[in-house]
Amino acid sequence: MSLSGDTLIKWAGAAQWRRNDAAADAVRSAAANAGGYATLFRGLDKSGGVFPSSSAGLMAHHRRLKQGFDPTSTFNPGQ
Protein backbone atom coordinates (compact mmCIF):
# COMPACT_ATOMS: atom_id res chain seq x y z
CA MET A 1 0.00 0.00 0.00
CA SER A 2 1.45 3.35 -0.95
CA LEU A 3 0.41 5.55 1.97
CA SER A 4 2.67 7.45 4.31
CA GLY A 5 2.31 7.36 8.07
CA ASP A 6 2.90 5.01 10.95
CA THR A 7 2.13 1.34 10.28
CA LEU A 8 1.46 -1.64 12.52
CA ILE A 9 1.40 -4.97 10.69
CA LYS A 10 -0.40 -7.94 12.25
CA TRP A 11 -1.20 -11.47 11.18
CA ALA A 12 1.86 -11.81 8.94
CA GLY A 13 0.78 -8.79 6.91
CA ALA A 14 -2.90 -9.77 6.57
CA ALA A 15 -3.92 -6.80 8.71
CA GLN A 16 -2.33 -3.38 8.60
CA TRP A 17 -3.22 -0.54 10.92
CA ARG A 18 -2.17 2.88 9.64
CA ARG A 19 -2.18 6.35 11.10
CA ASN A 20 -2.05 9.17 8.59
CA ASP A 21 -3.81 12.31 7.38
CA ALA A 22 -4.83 10.99 3.96
CA ALA A 23 -8.40 11.45 2.74
CA ALA A 24 -10.74 8.49 3.24
CA ASP A 25 -11.15 7.90 -0.49
CA ALA A 26 -7.36 7.77 -0.97
CA VAL A 27 -6.98 5.24 1.85
CA ARG A 28 -9.82 3.09 0.55
CA SER A 29 -8.46 3.23 -2.98
CA ALA A 30 -4.99 2.14 -1.83
CA ALA A 31 -6.52 -0.68 0.22
CA ALA A 32 -8.66 -1.85 -2.72
CA ASN A 33 -5.61 -1.82 -5.01
CA ALA A 34 -3.89 -4.12 -2.50
CA GLY A 35 -6.90 -6.47 -2.47
CA GLY A 36 -8.32 -5.30 0.84
CA TYR A 37 -10.54 -2.67 2.39
CA ALA A 38 -10.24 0.14 4.91
CA THR A 39 -12.37 1.01 7.91
CA LEU A 40 -11.98 4.16 10.01
CA PHE A 41 -10.90 3.05 13.47
CA ARG A 42 -10.40 6.38 15.19
CA GLY A 43 -10.74 9.90 13.95
CA LEU A 44 -12.72 13.07 14.31
CA ASP A 45 -13.61 13.57 10.64
CA LYS A 46 -16.16 10.93 9.71
CA SER A 47 -17.40 12.76 6.60
CA GLY A 48 -15.80 10.08 4.40
CA GLY A 49 -17.76 7.39 6.22
CA VAL A 50 -16.54 4.88 8.75
CA PHE A 51 -17.14 1.61 6.91
CA PRO A 52 -16.45 0.78 3.28
CA SER A 53 -19.46 0.46 0.99
CA SER A 54 -20.56 -3.09 0.24
CA SER A 55 -21.91 -4.66 -2.93
CA ALA A 56 -25.64 -5.36 -3.06
CA GLY A 57 -25.07 -9.12 -2.73
CA LEU A 58 -22.77 -8.76 0.25
CA MET A 59 -25.18 -6.33 1.94
CA ALA A 60 -28.10 -8.77 1.44
CA HIS A 61 -25.99 -11.54 3.02
CA HIS A 62 -25.06 -9.22 5.92
CA ARG A 63 -28.73 -8.37 6.55
CA ARG A 64 -29.71 -12.06 6.59
CA LEU A 65 -26.94 -12.80 9.10
CA LYS A 66 -27.94 -9.86 11.25
CA GLN A 67 -31.58 -10.95 11.17
CA GLY A 68 -30.54 -14.44 12.25
CA PHE A 69 -28.35 -13.32 15.16
CA ASP A 70 -30.29 -10.23 16.22
CA PRO A 71 -33.93 -10.57 15.10
CA THR A 72 -35.14 -7.69 17.32
CA SER A 73 -32.39 -5.26 16.14
CA THR A 74 -31.11 -4.80 19.69
CA PHE A 75 -27.54 -4.11 18.54
CA ASN A 76 -26.88 -1.13 16.27
CA PRO A 77 -30.53 -0.46 15.41
CA GLY A 78 -30.89 1.10 11.97
CA GLN A 79 -27.38 0.12 10.94
Confidence of residue 33 (pLDDT cuts 50, 70, 90): confident
Residues 6 or more apart whose CB falls under 8 angstroms from that of 8 comprise 16, 17, 18
How does pLDDT run across 43-68, given as a tens digit for each residue?
667 776 666 667 788 778 888 998 99
Asked if pLDDT for residue 30 goes beyond 70, the answer is yes
CA distance 57 to 36: 18
Beta bridge pairs of residue 9? 16
CA distance 38 to 3: 12
Domain ranges of the chain: 6-69
